[in-house]
Structure 1
Amino acid sequence: MQQIKWGILSTAGIARKQMVPAIKEAGNTMLHAVASESGKAADTAAEWGASVHHDSYEALLNDPDVDAVYIPLPNALHKEWVIKAMHHGKHVLVEKPAAVTSDDIREIREAGKETGMTWMEGFMYQFHPQHSYVKELIEKGTVGAVQKMRATFSFPLDLTSSNIRLDSSLGGGSLYDVGCYCVHACRHIIGQEPEAVVGTGRKQSGTGVDISTSALLTFQDIDAVIDCSFNESSLNRYEVSGTKGRIEVPFAFRPDQNPDNGEGLVIVRDENGRETERKTFAGNQFTLQIEHFSQCLIDGTQPVYTPESTHNNMKVIEAVYASQEQI
């Protein structure tokens, strides 16, 4: 099988913990190069098992052996380096959010069309099989006509730290960091775009970033409620409520946090709240994501997650933030 040679821009923790193991596990990928501008490239390449290291991002983009790059830089730097990478002839998988405004996403889309390179925003969770099963249940009418969806993603963050999630200049904030998953999940599972958005949130004094955000998304015939926070205990779940019951996905975005087995879990309840089904789903969502994207590059096909959908997700996020400012 043909293998896509990957390069990674930066030594970010998510790359070390999640993406490097995924590249090694996938059958159609190999880790070729890593770049760092902090003098750690050589040590990181040795630790990660990369064949080559580069001491600047530009040098990696000039490496002729790199087919595609993974970009886990701070949010505010995504647009610059995604566009640069594509103009250097590299395909791109960029961490979510792909940029911090819909105008930025539009520029990335234009660069993709201009260069002919393929790019995708890294919402890895959507490739986990538990979500396709939820959609099957909905389509079969298992819970009747869907009326509402609720999605939550929160975790405790040291709000006195210098974490980049608390830096507004780098695209910090709970909605950008974890709430974006909730927005995406509602759009993905419901299969529509919201017609109206109302949001509220709490900002940290000094930094100005939202440490918690809640919003109501009104779709054509379904309502969705999302909430996210840096100031609550860890929770990553969604549930879909219908006229005949509900579907619960208690480890929607991080199935590895399931303390029983690290697997995805889908629970179905009837209209009285009685459990009628409980099913687990195995799979490394990071591996499934990079396998899908790499296979699209090999086959010359488009990923299932499109630039248009990325653009629409950011427009909803912008609408939530705009609504906050009006309160």
Structure 2
Amino acid sequence: MTDKKVKYGILSTAKIAETQLVPALKDAKNAELYAVASQSGKEQAAATRWGAPFHYDNYRTLLKDPDIDAVYIPLPNSLHQQWAIEAMKNGKHVLLEKPAALKSDDIIAISAAAKEFKVQWMEAFMYQFHPQHVYVKQLLKDHKIGEVKRFRSHFSFLLDLESDNIRLKKSLGGGALMDIGCYSVHAARDLLQEEPIKVFSNARKLSNDSVDISSSSILTFEHVDAVIDCSFAEPPSNTYEIIGTEGSISVPHAFRPDASPDGGKGRVIVKDRSGSVVEDVFFEGNAYQLQVEHFSDCILNHKEPIYNGEQSYNNMRIIEALYQSQG
């Protein structure tokens, strides 16, 4: 046991850092917020709001601070690879916001740098650390719903499609599949514990930048079909359902349980083969905090994260194949 805490720096003042990671760092048992850097002059105000002891007016200066152990990178997707490797060259461990990069080759480069500079890195699919997801995996292990036959997932929210949002910019790695569909791809692979044999996707795109604003995809596994929908043009929803020969498991707030109407709790509903509810269980927990604590524990105890570079590579290969099938 150790009382040591991992000191984190944050590259940028992104909203997700302020609303999710900063509170998670403050609540984590083995981590602390140490510094923030911005290249747009917002670092001092952010440091004051967040309670960060130090702030820097550019990313490289933060990375050269010898007291910082790890960095969280919530920059636009197109900048992930560059700054992850730059951080690693400076001996920093990296918690990298999803998707980790734009191509699977970029993830190979990130993992190679981590190995070369002897640091840890992890793609930030935070939802997988929430107790509800852990419980679903145990239900599947116990064959609660028999043999799994189908996986369904839907992730959507309403985005102003006339806005200047980076999610609508193809050059920055935007697109519904890249931004939110990646969660469903990850969940299918993680819950089924295998890789798909073939995939297909159809998308609706913005005419001005050809970025996908919604898509419907099919992932064909050896014995299971996975259907994945995502959209920037539909009301908020983030669910997954697993259907088996003896019943089903549904998670109505799968990826953002913190935003659920059930007081921010996760929920798992199990039905038998007749459709009767046999379990309706609620789970408390902060997925972001649990993610930070897991990654920090890996740093402190020199362990590989449960979601490693190979897994990130495999997830991105599927996303690449889905985009390729869209044409």
TM-score range, shorter chain: over 0.9
Which amino acid in 2 is paired with 1:292?
H
2:149 aligns with 147
CA distance in 1, matches of 2:252, 2:92: 37
Structure 2 residue corresponding to 1:287, chosen from 286, 289, 292: 289
Structure 2 residue corresponding to 1:45, chosen from 39, 44, 47: 47
2:262 aligns with 260
2:98 aligns with 96
Structure 2 residue corresponding to 1:30, chosen from 29, 32, 51: 32
1:288-314: per-residue Cα shift (whole Å, max 9, x none)?
A: 000000011001111111100000000
1:236 aligns with 238
After TM superposition, give the deviation of residue 109 of structure 1 in Å.
1.1
After TM superposition, give the deviation of residue 257 of structure 1 in Å.
2.0
CA distance in 1, matches of 2:310, 2:213: 28
Please show how residues 49-88 of structure 1 align to structure 2 within 5 Å.
Answer: 49-88=51-90
SS of the equivalent of 2:243 reads: strand
SS of the equivalent of 2:229 reads: strand
Which amino acid in 2 is paired with 1:87?
K
The TM-score, its normalising length taken from structure 1, stands at 0.98
1:224 aligns with 226
CA distance in 2, matches of 1:256, 1:53: 29
Which amino acid in 2 is paired with 1:93?
L
Q: Are 2:20 and 1:18 equivalent residues in the alignment?
A: yes
Which amino acid in 1 is paired with 2:94?
V
SS of the equivalent of 2:23 reads: helix
SS of the equivalent of 2:294 reads: helix
SS of the equivalent of 1:273 reads: coil
CA distance in 2, matches of 1:83, 1:278: 44
CA distance in 1, matches of 2:47, 2:279: 45
Q: Are 2:323 and 1:321 equivalent residues in the alignment?
A: yes
CA distance in 1, matches of 2:112, 2:141: 35
Gaps of 5+ in 2: none
After TM superposition, give the deviation of residue 27 of structure 1 in Å.
0.9
SS of the equivalent of 2:239 reads: strand
Which amino acid in 2 is paired with 1:236?
N
SS of the equivalent of 2:13 reads: coil
Report how many residues are paired: 325
SS of the equivalent of 1:178 reads: helix
CA distance in 2, matches of 1:299, 1:256: 29
Q: RMSD of the TM alignment (CA)?
A: 0.6
Which amino acid in 2 is paired with 1:73?
L
CA distance in 2, matches of 1:122, 1:139: 24
Structure 2 residue corresponding to 1:162, chosen from 161, 164, 172: 164
After TM superposition, give the deviation of residue 153 of structure 1 in Å.
0.5
1:113 aligns with 115
Q: Percent identity?
A: 56
Which amino acid in 2 is paired with 1:237?
T
CA distance in 1, matches of 2:302, 2:144: 37
CA distance in 2, matches of 1:142, 1:6: 40
CA distance in 1, matches of 2:136, 2:49: 38
After TM superposition, give the deviation of residue 260 of structure 1 in Å.
2.1
4+ residue stretches of structure 1 with deviation over 6 A?
Answer: none
1:128 aligns with 130
Structure 2 residue corresponding to 1:2, chosen from 1, 4, 7: 4
